[in-house]
Amino acid sequence: MSIRTTTLIAGALLLTSVAPAGVELFTLGSIADRGDSVAFDINQLGQVVGQAENDRGVMHAFLWDNGVMTDLAPFEPDTVSNAWALNDLGAAVGYRTDRDGFFEALLWSGGSTTNLDVLTGSIGPSQVFDINNNGTMVGGFSVDGAQTKPTVLDASGNVIAQPTSGFNQAGFMRGINEAGMVVGHDFEFGTPDDAMFAFPDTEGGYAQPTKLQEQLGNDFFPFTLAYDVSESGIIVGTSNNGSGTSEAAMWLPDDEGGYDLHLLGTLGEQDTALAWGVNAMGVIVGQSRDEDASLSDPRAFMYLNGAMVDLNDFVDEDSRFTLLMGAHAINDAGDIVGFGRTTEGTVEAFVLRGAVPSPGAGALLVCAGMLMRRRRSEQR
């Protein structure tokens, strides 16, 4: 197992006051005439899901498709809901809050809403974070009345497995790819979270998860979270760098069936970053920020070709956005979704197209004086 830390020494994207040609940035608006919104996922068809404010000021799950935002919970106007993810068939997953304020996991598909708590018999808070094109879902459920455990559901809402690294572990599965590989994190109460991954077994369930922390063979990274996994098995998330703050992290498959950890750093002098999404080409998106929010504004980034790029470099001076604050997901066309601050003071969901260069269009990412330093130490 090896650890590679990539540090940006100097250099920056060549900037102008006008976004590069072919780049398109637009807001998705909100369910109400004016209000906040956040985009959490985008599929290969360009459909987007997230959370937006309705005319009562309540945040609701939405589906955006070809310029039209649809409220996924129109008959519960005073109940908070959210859609975390969707597949290429338009099925979306997320949650609503019950009367006690607990999360109830939901599936929206074919015009119907399914309460997954009822199907699983979950007692207590539950979440479902991702869904693939087979309809397999991942999240966290308490089906035995104990703590919420990482959970995999089939397309009918039946529990396939609750793959944890130990008997007393709680946590969540956060991402799944089309091959059924799942990633997430679990913990024993009083101990840090450990990022982990698991594969389907030959009996219709899931094998015991592998902790990415344990693969390092040391205690240098005591807190790790995995949020997403690409079709080739690239895992992204965040990892503590030993200083009390966390950096965006990428785990790449090695030649021995394990994973190499690559720390991606942060933007500028900020001390914390999280990698939230990755596409099939390995382009990563997320957020860089300071733990002390008074020091700087959070900023959306993408990571490609060995460099972390501030997505605000693509904001035109005439844009409605003044700051892109976080990027949650990216599809294989390079379309990025997230949230940002507008000239009107609202926080709104955005779609950014054309920022990721197509093959052969590397001139878009020409950097001035870009030097990279890699430190590699072998941990077996």
Which of 151, 94, 144 has the alpha carbon at shortest distance from 124?
Answer: 144
Cα–Cα distances (Å) from 250 to 186, 222, 277, 322, in that order, read 18, 16, 10, 29
Question: Which residue ranges in the chain fall short of pLDDT 70?
Answer: 1-21, 145-146, 165-168, 188-192, 213-222, 241-243, 359-380
Segment 135-181, tens digit of pLDDT: 999 999 987 766 888 999 999 999 999 887 665 678 889 999 999 99
pLDDT in tens, 29-38: 999 888 999 9
Bridge partners, residue 8, by sequence: 372
Amino acid 368: pLDDT: 25
Which pLDDT score, from 0 to 100, does residue 8 have? 34
The rounded distance, in Å, linking the Cα atoms of 337 and 352 is 6
pLDDT in tens, 242-291: 667 889 999 998 888 788 889 999 999 999 999 999 999 999 999 999 98
